[in-house]
Amino acid sequence: MNKPHSVTRQLTITNKLGLHARAATKLVQLAKQFEADIQLTQADNTAPANSVLALMMLESGQGKTVEVSCTGKDADAAMVAISELIENKFDESE
């Protein structure tokens, strides 16, 4: 049996408010579009990208680095989309 495709990348949260409710909601909505298991890890805490509450519990503020892991059929596409969302500061005007 083939091991599912997996990709991992370190990303820095750059928007002023960090991974707050609105940003977490955008991330969850984006993650749900892909056939992939997506996890965010900061320090010793890991959260699934399909849970707003779990993402907010990471307390990822501006300047924090998170490790994003995507596993599954759409892992590469999911990583590209999530990287763009985070790098574009969750489309927030600051």
Domains of the chain: 6-91 (3.30.1340.10)
Amino acid at 23: A
What's the CA gap between 59 and 64, in Å, rounded? Answer: 9
Q: Select from 72, 91, 84 the least CA-distant residue to 23.
A: 91
pLDDT < 70 positions in the chain: 1, 94
Whole-model pTM: value is 0.94
**Which member of 9, 20, 22, 89 is catalytic?**
20
Active site residue 5: no
